Every structure is written in C-alpha cells, then in structure tokens.
C-alpha cells in the first residue's frame, strides 16, 4: 500500500506535470530545430512567436466566449487554435519577407541572422505587450479536471490523491497529434522530403531543382503552427504572461541542443529530458520518501535538491554537460 | 564631410537632444538620462570589446551587470553584527567544499581510464559532495538569515568606501567570467550565446534566492554614496546662499548638484575605460584580436593561442560590464535583484553596440548615449503620438484608452525597429569600424 501511495504521489507531482511540460517544450524545440535545420540560425524570437500565437488564441477565445460559443468540457481555446495559427503564419511570413529574406539573399553569416532575430524578438515582444499588456491572462475554461484528487481517493481508497488536469491531458493528446502530423509531412509528402533534402545538403537540393524559397516558406508555416500550439498549450496549463514566454527560450533551446540541433526526433527527446530533470531536481521528495522509508529514517527536511527558482540552472547544466561530452546532441544534430 | 566632422556632429546631436530635454522637460530628467547614458556607454564598451574586437557572442551581459551590483553590497555595506560567527564561516567552508568536490571530480576523471568505473566514481563523488555541501551549508544559511530578518539576515559587506566597490565589481565579474569562459568558450557562436543567456539567468536566480548573500528579493537599500546627500546640502547655509545666488530654490539645486557630481565621477570612469580600450584596439594585441575574429583558423596557424585570447577578452569585457553595474547600483542606492531583465540589461546593450558601430569604441559610446536617450524618451513621445492619433476618437472609447495605456510598450517596438533598420541599411553602425 505504501509503495502504491508513493507511486501515486510521484505520478501526481513529478511524472504527470513533467510529461505535460515536456510536451510543451518538445513542440517549442521542434520549431527551433526546424528553423535551425532549414534557415541555419538560432531563432531568438521563437519564444515571442509563441507568445504572439498564444495571444491571438486568447483574444479569439474571449471573442468566442462573448458570443456564447463553447467547446463543452474542452477549453474554448482549442477552437481558437486554428485561427491563431493562421494569424501567426501571416505574421511570420510577413517577417520573413520583410526581414530575413534580405539576409538570405546576401548569404549573411548565421550570427548576423541571430542578431536580426533579436530585433524581431524586440518587435514581437513589444507588439504582444502593446496589444494585450504585460499582465497575466486566464483563458482556460471547460472542465478543470479529468480526475480530481477526491474522485481518485474515493475510487482507489489510497491515502494519496492523483489529479490529472484537463489541460495536461489535452497537452499530451494535441502534442502527439502535432508530432504525428509533422513526421508524416516530413517523411511522406514531397514538400516534406524536399525540406529534409534541403536541410541535409543545400547545394545538392538546389541542383536537383528544389525551390529554396518554397522550402523556407513551408518551414515558416510549420514553425508558426508548432509555436502557436506550444504557446497555447503552455498558456492553458499555466497561464498566459508575455514575459514567461520569453523566459521559456532557454529551456527550449536547451531541449533542441540536447537532442541535437536540426534533428526533430532529438528535439522531442530533449524536451522530455529537460522537463523531467527540471521537475525531479526541484521537487521536494519528502512526500514520496516518507512512504518508502521506515519511520525511523524518515527525512526531516523537504529533500529538495534545489529550490524551484533554480530550474534554469538545471537546463543549463544539462546543456553544458551534453555540449562538453556529446557536442552534436543525443541524436546526431548538425553543426554549421 | 570628413569622418571626424561627421562623428563630432553625431555626438553634438545626441548631447543637443539631451540638452533640449533639459530645457523642455527639466534638467533633472536630462541629468538622469546623461548619468545612465554614461553607464550605458561603459556597458556598450564592454560588449564592444567582446563582440567588436573578438567576435564573441555574449548575451549574458545582465549577469555581469548584476554581479557588479552585488559587489557594491559586499564591499560598502556595514557587516551584519554576529553574522560571521553565527554561520558565515560555515557558509564559506561549505562553498569551499562544493568547489573542492568539483575540482576533485575533474582530477579523478583525468587520472582514471575511461570506462564504467570512472563514470561510477564521478557520480558517487558528485552526489556525495553535493550532500556534504548541503549538510554544511544549510545550517549556516539558516543561522545567518535568522539575524534580524526584517532588516538584515545577510552577511553584510566589508564597510569599505563605496568608490572601492567599482573596481571590486569589475573583479567579481571578471572572476565569474573566468569560470564561465573556462567551460563555455570552446562552444560555437550560437551555443555560446545560449550558454551565456542561461548563465545570466542563473546569476540572477542566485542573487534572488540566496538571502544570506544580499537579502535576495528583499533588496538592500540605503547603500553608501560617494556624493553628499541632498538633505545635508539643503541644511548647509553656504550651499543655500550660492543656490539662491543662481536663482534656484535649494531643493532643486541640491538634487541637480548631486546628479552633476555623479556625472563627473561617471565621466571620469568612462574616459579611463575608453582610453584603455582605444589603446588596446591600436596595440599589437588589438590587431591580433581582430585577426582572430576575422579568421580563427589562419590566426591559429600563425601560432596565436585562440582559446586563451578569447578567454582573456571575455574576462576583460565582462569586467567592464561589472564596473558599470556597480556604478549603476551606486547611483540607485539600492540593490534590487528582481528588476534585472534581459531585454533591458542584455539585449538593449547589444542594440547600443550594433547601432553605434561594432568594432569602434567611439561608436559604442555614441550608441550607449543615443539608445539610452531613446529608451527613456520614446515613452513620452509614444504617448504624444497616441494622443495625436486618438484625438479624433470619441472621449471614453475603449480603444482610445487602450492605445494611450499601451504607449508605454512602444519602447520595445521602437528598439526592434531601430535595430532592424540599422542592420539593413547601415550594417556597420553609425560610426563604422575603420
């Protein structure tokens, strides 16, 4: 019984939140990795692209709510998601046309593109704050829990409860659908194949008649969809605040690099590696340990390795360790 | 128009704008802009050392600026009574134990042959060291933080004059930069950028959470000043007489006098650092740096030690940012770790360097003043613009209120637009590298 209680506590506080957070990171990291693979620079504006997409979803959700449209037990934001994706697609395509294309034609060094993306980051950040303000916005509605603590306790008779939030369930389901679609697109469609070819070997791809502008356009479209989805899921799960998305940049980059920049599979793996390490290292293990240890050995402190504010340190340390020992990441990424 | 004339004209333009602020708004605002402009110029010089001279992509400026601020508390604050005996030494011993663990692990890894045994030894050493460290560390921290927690609860400083804190800020930033450089500088430019971004966040996280160090988010206020206090000036009859002779009321005069004093101090530091940077740029060392920047492989083939030169300039540039950070905290009179934000303290400095002209010290200084001026003044300008746009709208309409309220966020937008415009149409900045 004690073992079961420990397992439930572990799932409730570590496994389930980490899976949800990991899925959000993975979606974000996929966007970063695709940009890196095709356009060959680290996009600092990615966090703010996510914020912009999420902001559109928040606004559309409010509009739907005011008209009385709802999605039953599911959050209305899911209905708003497709429209938000379209809006974000428009934004990134305009950005690419007005900003990035010039440097592509110039064959500018990647580091210049990174600085350019810093400028884009400023603009998007300003835009989001300008439209919706810098404060917390709540936009989740519908049923709050799939299983609440009380139901779980009544069902199983265990001392520990297990809660699964609807947003956590939705995050995982949507992430799986998005990733499946992405891999189907990359591996099965002609455009997807040309994207991979372009990422592997630009010159060869150009020789075989692949239109680079088309590849770049599709990349931005996919990135916009991924970023918006990640942004909306994160916002539903936690809450929407522009600055938080900017701060997500670090764990997202860490995920992409740990997995191997340019490798979509790596981005997903990296997302979960980062999420699980962050949650396990900043979790106070006392609750779990007290079920597993004999009473005399019960820990007196919280058994928290690091306080939650050090979660950045966790992603950073993993990043450094991977870079020092396996510079191309867990899955062979590329180095430009 | 000769180059020198153009540069002079640019500087005159920026200072004229600041002077105009003094005439149209108030001299207090103008001097505030000037003071922060001086500090920004120093930060920009630091980044220019790293990026302009050596091509190091450091986006962790915020961390070094914050370290400079921390140094002010550690140097100039009075020591907290009983803190050292209560737990201060314990904390120091714990930190040494932590450092010893890492050094020991690295040494063991060098001695042992690669394989499972080495991996196990590494993990055992690191875990054991971590628990040992926490075992010594936690009681010490608890004891220190229990001392008068409403006002103190930290170790306090060395009680040295506050001007000493500026070089100390540089030293502290340099020490940390050396540690970081040792681990991260081998990375490619993108990776280095992300690594430094993370380091800056970690430094801020440490400063926010380790209350024993400088009270964390509870802030340290009332730091010493290198200049007189306004209230003392207002109570000095000679000062009041002189102010009245100039036709100023004592309150305004004292506040202007204090700010001017700061301006003079900051200007001296700026000139010193600028001259040093100019000499470095023109020296054989500076030429070597640019050679490394332009072609690492060729420089290495010529026998230049690229890794060590990178480390050297990374430490130097970070030290300059640390000095600027210490000056800023002195100007504020308080250390507030919660206010450090990468957009303001890292990316804005980058905008200064790029807009001013990377690789050119004069450009970096110009960028520092110009961008800081715009950063402050875009807000009132935006408000004015918004009022102009919305003047035709119905009074009390939601959109009008929203637009006017959002004017404050115009500055980020403007900075982005300026950066992109400069990168597009004048990629080498206003004063390009020669």
Instruction: Identify which of A119, A120, A129 has the shortest CB distance to residue B409.
Output: A129
Decide if pLDDT at A127 tops 50: yes
Q: Where are the domains of chain A?
A: 20-248
DSSP H or E run through A146: strand A145-147
Other beta carbons within 10 angstroms of residue B198's beta carbon come to: 26
- Pick from B356, B409, B422 the residue to mutate for testing the A interface (most A CBs within 10 Å): B409
Residue B306 touches partner A, C-beta closer than 8 Å: no
The reply to whether B92 touches chain A by the CB within 8 Å rule is: no
Across residues A33-50, what is the average pLDDT?
A: 93
Among residues B338, B137, B89, B320, which one has the least CA distance to residue B220?
Answer: B338
Q: Is residue B131 within 8 angstroms of chain A, CB to CB?
A: no
Question: Please, which pLDDT band fits residue B1 given cuts at 50, 70 and 90?
Answer: low
CA distance A122 to A52: 12
pLDDT tier at B216, thresholds 50, 70, 90? confident
For B241-256, what is the mean pLDDT?
88
Task: State yes or no: pLDDT of A336 exceeds 50.
Answer: no
pLDDT band at B346 (very low <50, low <70, confident <90, very high): very high
* Model pLDDT, residue A1: 65
Burial of B428 (0-12, 13-18, 19+ CB in 10 A): middle
Q: Extract the tokens encoding A193.
A: 């194949």
Cα B397 to its chain centre, rounded Å, is 42
CA dist A97 and B378 (Å) reads 27
- Give the C-alpha distances (Å, rounded to integers) separating B214 from A186, B70, B86, B318: 52, 7, 16, 21
Share of chain B above pLDDT 90, in %: 59
CA–CA–CA angle B207, A117, A191 (5° rounding): 130
Given CB atoms, is B411 within the 8 Å cutoff of chain A? yes
pLDDT tens digits, A147-190 = 888 888 888 888 888 889 999 999 999 999 999 999 999 999 99
**Would you state the structure tokens that stand for residue B31, as one six-digit string?**
């001097």
Question: Where along chain B do its domains lie?
Answer: 3-79+156-425, 80-155
- Say if residues B289 and B313 touch (Cβ distance below 8 Å): yes
pLDDT band at B394 (very low <50, low <70, confident <90, very high): confident
Q: Pick the residue from chain A with its C-alpha nearest to B195.
A: A316
pLDDT band at B246 (very low <50, low <70, confident <90, very high): confident
Residue contact B420–A116, C-beta within 8 A? yes
> Chain A: nearest CA to B234, how far in angstroms?
41
Query: Taking the CB of residue B348, how many other CB atoms lie within 10 A of it?
Result: 25
Paired residues of A75 in beta bridges: none
Q: What angle do CA B45, B48, B50 make, to 5 degrees?
A: 120
Residue A74 φ/ψ, nearest 5 degrees? -85, 155
And the tokens for B366?
Answer: 């110009």
What ipTM goes with this model? Answer: 0.90
> pLDDT tens digits, residue range A137-150?
888 888 888 888 88
Which whole number is the average pLDDT over B283-293?
93
Within an 8 Å CB–CB cutoff, is residue B416 touching chain A?
yes
Dihedral, A31, A32, A33, A37 alpha carbons, nearest 10? 100
- Is the whole model's pTM more than 0.95, yes or no? no
- Cα atoms in the 13 Å half-sphere on the side-chain side of A153: 7
pLDDT recorded at residue B407: 80
Give the Cα separation of B321 and B327 in Å (integer).
Answer: 10
Tokens of A191: 């455009």
**What's the confidence (pLDDT) of residue A261?**
87
CA angle B132, B135, B141 (to 5 degrees): 130
Average pLDDT for B126-143: 89
CB contact under 8 A, B412 and A129: yes
| Total beta-carbon pairs less than 8 A apart between chain A and chain B | 124
Tens of pLDDT, residue by residue over B95-113, are 999 999 999 998 998 888 8
Task: Check residues B404 and B10 and name the one with the higher pLDDT.
Answer: B10
């Amino acid at each position: 019984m004690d073992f079961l209680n420990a397992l439930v506590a572990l799932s409730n506080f570590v496994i389930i939140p980490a899976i949800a957070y990991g899925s959000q990171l993975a979606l974000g990291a996929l966007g970063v990795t695709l940009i890196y693979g095709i356009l060959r620079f680290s996009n600092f504006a990615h966090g703010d692209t996510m914020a912009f997409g999420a902001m559109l979803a928040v606004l559309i959700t409010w509009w739907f709510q005011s008209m009385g449209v709802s999605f039953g037990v599911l959050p209305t934001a899911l209905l708003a998601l497709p429209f938000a994706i379209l809006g974000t697609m428009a934004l990134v395509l305009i950005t690419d046309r007005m900003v990035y294309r010039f440097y592509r034609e110039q064959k500018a060094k990647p580091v210049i593109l990174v600085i350019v993306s810093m400028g884009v980051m400023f603009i998007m950040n300003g835009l989001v704050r300008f439209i919706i303000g810098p404060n917390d916005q709540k936009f989740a509605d519908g049923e709050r829990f799939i299983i609440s603590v009380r139901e779980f306790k009544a069902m199983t008779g265990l001392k520990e409860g297990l809660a699964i939030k609807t947003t956590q369930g939705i995050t995982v389901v949507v992430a799986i659908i998005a990733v499946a679609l992405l891999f189907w697109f990359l591996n099965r469609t002609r455009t997807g194949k040309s994207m991979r070819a372009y990422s592997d070997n630009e010159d060869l791809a150009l020789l075989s008649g692949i239109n680079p502008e088309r590849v770049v356009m599709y990349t931005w479209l996919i990135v916009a969809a991924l970023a918006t989805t990640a942004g909306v899921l994160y916002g539903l799960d936690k809450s929407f605040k522009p600055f938080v998305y900017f701060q997500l940049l670090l764990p997202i980059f860490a995920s992409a690099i740990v997995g191997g920049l340019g490798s979509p599979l790596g981005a997903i793996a990296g997302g979960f590696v980062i999420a699980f390490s962050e949650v396990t290292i900043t979790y106070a293990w006392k609750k779990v340990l007290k079920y597993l240890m004999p009473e005399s050995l019960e820990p007196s402190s919280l058994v928290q390795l690091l306080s939650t504010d050090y979660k950045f340190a966790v992603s950073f340390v993993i990043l450094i360790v991977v870079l020092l020992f396996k510079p191309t990441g867990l899955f062979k990424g590329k180095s430009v | 128009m000769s180059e020198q004339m153009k540069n002079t004209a640019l500087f005159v333009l920026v200072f004229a704008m600041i002077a105009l602020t003094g005439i149209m708004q108030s001299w207090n605002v103008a001097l505030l802009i000037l003071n922060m402009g001086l500090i920004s110029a120093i930060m920009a010089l630091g980044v220019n050392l790293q990026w302009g001279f050596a091509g190091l992509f450091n986006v962790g400026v915020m961390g070094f600026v914050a370290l400079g601020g921390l140094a002010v508390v550690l140097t100039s604050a009075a020591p907290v009574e009983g803190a050292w005996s209560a737990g201060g030494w314990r904390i120091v011993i714990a930190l040494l134990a932590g450092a010893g663990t890492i050094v020991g692990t690295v040494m063991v890894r060098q001695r042992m042959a690669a394989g499972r045994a080495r991996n196990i030894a590494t993990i055992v050493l690191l875990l054991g060291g971590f628990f040992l460290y926490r075992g010594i560390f936690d009681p010490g921290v608890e004891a220190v933080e229990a001392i008068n927690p409403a006002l103190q609860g930290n170790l306090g400083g060395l009680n040295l004059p506050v001007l000493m804190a500026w070089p100390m800020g540089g030293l502290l930033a340099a020490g940390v930069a050396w540690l970081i450089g040792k681990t991260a500088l081998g990375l490619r430019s993108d990776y280095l950028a992300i690594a430094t971004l993370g380091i800056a966040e970690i430094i801020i996280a440490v400063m926010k959470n380790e209350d024993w160090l400088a009270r964390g988010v509870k802030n340290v206020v009332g730091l010493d000043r290198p200049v007189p206090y306004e209230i003392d000036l207002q109570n000095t009859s000679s000062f009041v007489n002189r102010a009245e002779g100039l036709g100023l009321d004592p309150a305004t005069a004292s506040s202007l006098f204090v700010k001017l004093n700061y301006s003079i101090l900051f200007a001296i530091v700026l000139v010193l650092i600028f001259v040093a940077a100019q000499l470095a740029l023109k020296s054989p060392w500076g030429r070597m740096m640019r050679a490394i920047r332009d072609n690492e492989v060729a420089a290495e083939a010529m026998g230049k030690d690229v890794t060590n030169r990178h480390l050297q300039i990374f430490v130097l540039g970070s030290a300059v940012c640390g000095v600027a950070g210490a000056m800023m905290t002195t100007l504020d009179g308080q250390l507030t770790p919660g206010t450090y934000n990468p957009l303001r303290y890292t990316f804005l400095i980058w905008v200064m360097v790029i807009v001013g002209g990377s690789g050119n010290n004069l450009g970096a200084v110009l960028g520092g003043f110009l961008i800081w001026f715009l950063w402050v003044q875009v807000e009132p300008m935006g408000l004015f613009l918004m009022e102009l746009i919305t003047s035709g709208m119905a009074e009390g309409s939601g959109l009008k209120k929203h637009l006017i309220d959002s004017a404050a966020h115009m500055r980020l937008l403007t900075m982005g637009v300026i950066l992109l415009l400069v990168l597009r149409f004048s990629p080498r900045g206003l004063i390009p590298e020669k």
